[in-house]
Homo-oligomer: A and B are copies of this chain.
Amino acid sequence: MRPFTNLIPFEDAKRIVLENVKPIEDVEEVNLLDALGRVLAEDIISPINVPPFARAAEDGYAVRAEDTYGAGQYAPKEFKLVGEINTGEYKEIKVGKGECIRIATGAMLPEGADAVVRVEDTEEDGNIVRVYRPVHPGFDVAPEGEDIKKGEKILAKGTILNPPKIGALAAMGIAKVKVYRRPKIAVLPSGNELMVPGEKIEKGKIYDVNTYTISSVIRENGGEPIIFPFVIDDKEDIENKLMESLKYDMVVFSGGSSVGDRDMLIDVVSKHAKILFHGVQIKPGKPTWCARGDKLIFGMPGFPASCLNDSYQFLGPAVRKMARLPPKKERVVKARMARRITSTLGRMQFFTVHLKDGYAYPAYKTSGAITSLADSDGYIIIPANSDLVEKDEEIEVHLWGD
């Protein structure tokens, strides 16, 4: 058995992980309807004016503003109705002196006109329109380029595309955008005891949990899991799968369960990569290791609760950095501890709890128990230099979120 001679603090482990991954540079093109949440890989300079023409802001009559001057509630000005323009239409008609054209909201302002008189300030009588209110040039006209000017930089590289920004792209007529590719993370569950859920379980075997939890955390943080077949505890198999997995942006092993299996895994990995750390002062998750070859290689414990805690604490933030997403906004709520709990001095503990009526109840069973997490709403952090949380003590609960 290889002793953990150099257990490092949590913060150091997290820093090392984040220092050793870098944002994805590869770019792909996606349809605008699939761009939600993606990260723009190009500056967007508008190819057009938006709106592309001056248009009516209200339903009414397009006129030359100066022809309305002097109009009043008891002294209408009369205009000759020479045509009509509906929204979406283009007509080669002009507004001359004393003339007007019936126009719908959003329709293109005809040549000659420089204002719109609202329908409620007028009276139509055959081909005569009486205008009861004067308007200034530009009244109820949305000028060409009012919203977006051609040649203007509208969105910068690195922008996360939310609904308003997707709307702005549509307004410019942009149907496809360049975004950064999602980081592809190789997921390598390891252990001779594993079976795929859905198969009939054999004696001595258990169902693989870690592939599912690791993949979900990767997805939640903007990455794409690439799931490998189980790594068996055999040097050649480990080596082959390692070589194959290094084609992706990052590699995550989980397991093996026994010390011997883990040692074999680390032996093979260390032939191709530098071990950055092996052993972290956290609970659960002490046997976590990390190595760096061409890519970052992560070794998570096989125990489901340890592996999932590692996924939340290290993998999620690493994937977000690669995906160019900002750190996740944690939701933290205050509560009181429902009963006294003890911890291990020298290891920072992520202790899972469920919340009820302002109290936090322990959900942690063992590092092997997935229900330690599935039953919990979040976790409290017990610092490495503390071994006790008293009943009724005020604590902060970090929520998993949904």
Chain A residues within CB distance 8 Å of chain B: 1, 32-33, 36-37, 48, 50-53, 57, 59, 85-90, 104-108, 119-120, 142, 146-148, 154-155, 160, 162-176, 191-199, 201-213, 215-217, 219-220, 225, 227, 233, 256-261, 302, 304, 308, 311-312, 325-326, 329, 331, 365-366, 368-371, 373-374, 376, 400-402
Contact = CB atoms under 8 A, between A and B. Distances in A.
Copies of the protein in its oligomer: 2
Contacts of A195: 173
12 contacts: A33-B225, A37-B402, A48-B201, A88-B193, A90-B202, A104-B257, A107-B258, A160-B402, A163-B216, A163-B400, A164-B308, A167-B209
A386 B387 CA distance: 54
Given A154-B371, A219-B36, A402-B160, A173 B193 contact: no
Given A308-B163, A374-B165, A257 B87 contact: yes
B208 A170 contact: yes
Nearest to A331: B329
Nearest to A89: B204
A402 B217 CA distance: 18
A-B pairs, 7 with minimum CB distance = A175-B198, A88-B193, A164-B373, A88-B192, A168-B374, A90-B204, A106-B257
Given A36-B219, A88-B193, A166-B212, A105 B203 contact: no
A163 B329 CA distance: 17
Contact of A369 (B147, B219, B257, B366): B147
Contacts of A165: 374
Nearest to A31: B198
Nearest to A326: B402
Contact of A51 (B206, B227, B260, B261): B206
B304 A171 contact: yes
Given A164-B400, A199-B173, A204 B147 contact: no
B36 A374 contact: no
Given A87-B193, A87-B258, 6 more contacts: A87-B192, A106-B257, A160-B402, A163-B312, A173-B198, A329-B331
